[in-house]
Structure 1
Amino acid sequence: MNESNHPGKKLTHQSKFLFACHSKVSCFTDCCNDVEMNLYPYDIIRLKNRLCIHSEQFLSQYTEMEFDDGAWFPRITLKMSENENHSCPFLSSEGCTVYEDRPFSCRSYPLARSISRKCSKDEQKAAYYLVRHKYCKGHDEPQERSVEEWVRSNDIAPYNEMNASWISVDTLIKSFPFQQNGMSMSFFRLLFSASYNLDNFRTLIEDHLADKLEISQKLLEKAKKCDITLMTIGFSFIRQCLTGEKMTILIS
C-alpha cells in the first residue's frame, strides 16, 4: 500500500478488470495460508472490536512485530497458525470468520493502492494497480467490474482514509534517526500505544496524559468510546512528540 512504484498495471477509477472470489473457485482460501500480511492501525481496530477483546490481547495473540533493516519502530504482521499450512488464524473450513472486518490487504485484492511517502497527507496522490498472484484463479472468472465498483462493494473507502493518515505518520516516524537502543523503552511504548495499542493509549490518557494534550474535554470524552477519534488523537500526539508540532485534530 505504501510503495510509490507498485508492480502491476496502473488503473483509473473507471478501469475495468475481470475477477471474482467465492467458494467455487478452485484456489478458494489458498491465499489465506503462509503469507506475510501487514496490519495497519485501522485493521487492528476493526479486528479487535470484532473479537471483542482488548487491543493488547489482540496484539499478543494474533500479531508479530517486524523490524526492517535499520528501523527503530516496527511494522505489525498477522501471526499465522502453527499448523501444517500456516493458515490465517481466522480461517475456517467455510472461509473467513471475520469477513466483514477483514484487513485491508484481504479486501483490496486484486487491487493494490499506492501512496507516495514524499507528500503530506493533504498532498497525497493515490493510485491503484492490478496485481495477480500466480496461484489465484479468481482472475479467470468472467465477472467484470470497475475499480470504483470494487472499492464500493468491498467497503474499502474508510480503510483508504485511515491508512492514508497512518502513512503520513509512519513516514514521519521513519524519518527520525533513532536506533532501537537510542531511545527509552517508556517512550517507545508510548508511541507504540498511540499507534497500535489504542486501548492501552486510552488508559494512559485517563491516567495522566489528558493534562498534556492540547485538546478539548469534549474530544477527550468522545475518545473514551470512539476508537477512530482515539486513533486520530494518537496520530496527532505522535507528531507532537517527534516534532513539537501543536496538536491539530479535525473530526466530524
Structure 2
Amino acid sequence: MTTPENDQSQRFLDEHEELAPGQGFQFACHPGVSCFGACCSALNLMLTPYDTLRLRRGTGQSSRDFIKEYADTSAIPGVGLPLLHMHMQETESKRCPFSLKGACAVYENRPSACRTYPLGRATRPGASGVEEQLFVLREAHCKGFAEASQWNPATWMADQGLSAYNASNDRFMGLVAALRAQQQQLGRPLGSQQAGMSGLALYQPDDFQRFLVGAQLLDRLDMTEARKEAVLHDEEACLDFGFDWLELSLLGQTERLRPKG
C-alpha cells in the first residue's frame, strides 16, 4: 500500500498498469505454480496497525513481544509517526519470517500487501473521501499471470478478505496525510512523547487498553458505555478508538470523538 504524495511514488505508479474499477485481469497463486513462494523474500513490507493486530492474533504474542521479534521500527519522514516494517530473516535470501517451506504460517492473518498482490493499492484524501488507485504489479519472476482464473478489482479484494484491512488502513493513511499537512505548516514533526503515545495507540492495543484504564481517559470523553466496554475488551474497537483519539489529541478535532462538556 502506498500514497502517491511525492514524485518518487508517483513515478512508481506511472510505471505500472492502472486498473479501472471493473477491468479484468488473469491471475492465480497456488503451490502448483512454479514460482510459488518466490515473492516472500527481500521484502520492504510495511506493517500497518491493522496488519500488526492481525499478525499478533496469528502468533498469540503480546504487542511488545511481537514488535521485538518481527518488526523494525522507524518514523515516517516529515511526520514523526511510528512505522513498522517486517523484519526479514537474517539469511542471504532475506525470507519473510513466516514463510515456512514455501507456505505462509500466518495465512489467515497475512498482511494487506500480501493479500492485495498482484495488485497495488494507492490512496489519497479526496473531496468526497478516500480516492483509490489500483495497479497491476507484473514482476518478471511471477508465473501467476499465466493461470486461467479471471478477476476484477472488486472480486479480488472480496476473495482476499480485504474489506476490514482497507477500511482501517485508509484511516491510518488519512491520519498520516493530515499530520503531514499540519507539520508542513508547523515546520516540525511530532515530539518524542507524541510519537510514543501514537505508537501505543496504533500498534499496542493490549498496552493501550491498560493505559486507558490507569489514566481513566475514557471517563473524560463523551462516549457511550457500550463503546467504552468495546474499546477495553476488543482490540479492533480499541484501534478504531486510537485513530479517533489521535485525531483529537494531535489534530485538535475529529467528528467521532469529543471531550465531555
Common fold, TM-score beyond 0.5? yes
AA matched with 2:152: S
The one of 142, 145, 153 aligned to 2:151: 145
1:241 aligns with 2:249: yes
- Indicate the residue corresponding to 1:27 in structure 2: 35
- Alpha carbons 1:56, 1:199 under 8 Å: kept: no
Counterpart of 2:23 in structure 1: which amino acid? S
Q: Normalising by structure 2, what TM-score?
A: 0.86
Deviation track 1:123-168 (CA, whole Å, cap 9, x = no partner) reads: 2121211121222121222222222221111111221111111111
Question: What is the identity percentage for the equivalent residue pairs of Structure 1 and Structure 2?
Answer: 26
Partner of 1:82: 90
1:115 to 106, 116, 123: 123
How many equivalent pairs are there? 245
Q: Deviations over 1:202-249 (max 9, x none)?
A: 111011033343323321111122112111110011111112215615
Which residue of 131, 142, 154 corresponds with 1:136? Answer: 142
Amino acid at match of 1:173: L
**What TM-score do the two structures reach when normalised by structure 1?**
0.89
Paired with 1:87 and 1:219, the residues of 2 have a C-alpha distance of 40
The alignment status of 1:217 with 2:208, answered yes or no, reads no
* 1:70-219 correspondence runs (5 A): 70-117=78-125, 119=126, 123-177=129-183, 179=188, 183=191, 185-208=192-215, 209-219=217-227
Measured after TM superposition, the shift of residue 93 of structure 1 is: 0.6
1:56 to 64, 81, 100: 64
- State the alpha-carbon separation in 2 of the partners of residues 68 and 200 from structure 1: 22
- Contact 1:62 1:79 (C-alpha < 8 Å) held by counterparts: yes
Contact 1:2 1:114 in 2 (8 A): yes
The gaps in structure 2 that reach 5 residues or longer are 5-9
Q: Is the 8 A contact 2:179 2:251 kept in 1?
A: no
| 1:72 positional shift | 2.0
State whether residues 98 and 104 of structure 2, in contact with CA within 8 Å, keep that contact through their aligned partners in structure 1.
yes
Cross-structure match for 1:2: 2
Unaligned runs of at least 5 residues, structure 1:
none
SS in 2 for 1:125: strand
Partner letter of residue 115 of structure 1?
T
Task: Check whether the contact 1:11–1:130 (CA below 8 A) recurs between aligned residues.
Answer: yes
Equivalent-residue separation in structure 2 for 1:98 and 1:246 (angstroms): 35
Deviating more after overlay: 230-239 vs 72-81: 72-81
Contact 1:42 1:162 in 2 (8 A): yes
Which amino acid in the other structure matches residue 68 of structure 2? S
